[in-house]
Amino acid sequence: MKLLFVGDVVAGVGRRALATVLPALREEHQPDFVVVNGENAAGGVGITRKTAQELLALGVDAITLGNHTYRHREVYGYLDEEPRIVRPANFPKGSPGRGHTVVESNGLRLGVINLSGQVFLEAVRSPFAEADALLSELRGKTDAVLVDMHAEVTSEKVALGWYLDGRVMACVGTTPTWPPPTPGCCRAGPPTSRTSG
């Protein structure tokens, strides 16, 4: 299974850039799935129904979000309606939207989990415990799982990457870490035979 993940599509310029380069990336790499982080797609902060629909119309299979998920009130209902958009799963229970989804393409099923770090952010539950719960829930329902860890500090991304190593297809760390991430914060590869203890 091949996955193309695009981190942080920002504002109109990011959406236009994605529309320009995505066809060539698809042709060159032939991914089975395309997932983008769209939490800054609307004017550089948050997402709206219109900007989400624009990304999905490009053939994006799933959109992950982050701490700006609820910046635009108009999107709340759409987050409940559109299963291909996920907000951090460790946000308060009952928040608009969902924290994970399963998308299908050519007979393959990809689970997409979105998590938020807790340092300097307002997630209410541990991303580690939430990841464990969701992986148990998704067991047998997917061929692979992608985790997008949205966190302020690189160390949380690195720690979750190591924690999930061998249990997911990839654990990527997206915004809002503005300096380049530390090598190793994104873990990718086929699950190993290692089991968690």
Give the three-class secondary structure for 134: helix
Burial class from Cβ neighbours inside 10 Å (0-12, 13-18, 19+) for residue 190 reads exposed
Two tokens at 162? 């190591």
The residue assigned the tokens 């998308």 is 103
CB 104 within 8 A of CB 136: no
What angle (nearest 5°) sits at the alpha carbon of residue 82, between those of residues 78 and 83?
145
Beta strands across the sheet bearing 3-6: 3-6, 33-37, 62-64, 85-86
> What are 171's strand-pairing partners?
147, 187
pLDDT tens for 79-104 read 999 999 999 999 998 999 999 999 99
In the residue annotation, 68 being an active-site residue is answered as yes
- What is the structure's pLDDT at 66? 86
pLDDT tens for 100-133 read 999 999 999 999 999 988 778 777 889 999 999 9
CB 158 within 8 A of CB 134: no
pLDDT tens for 136-167 read 999 999 999 999 988 778 888 888 989 999 99
- Compute the residue count for the chain: 197
- What is the structure's pLDDT at 182? 43
First-last CA distance in the chain = 27
- What is the structure's pLDDT at 176? 54
Task: Please tell me whether the peptide bond between 191 and the residue prior to it is cis, using omega within 30 degrees of 0.
Answer: no
Residue 177 has pLDDT above 70, yes or no: no
Per the residue annotation, which of 68, 72, 100, 150 is the catalytic one? 68
- What is the structure's pLDDT at 169? 93
The residue assigned the tokens 């635009």 is 72
0.85 exceeded by pTM: yes
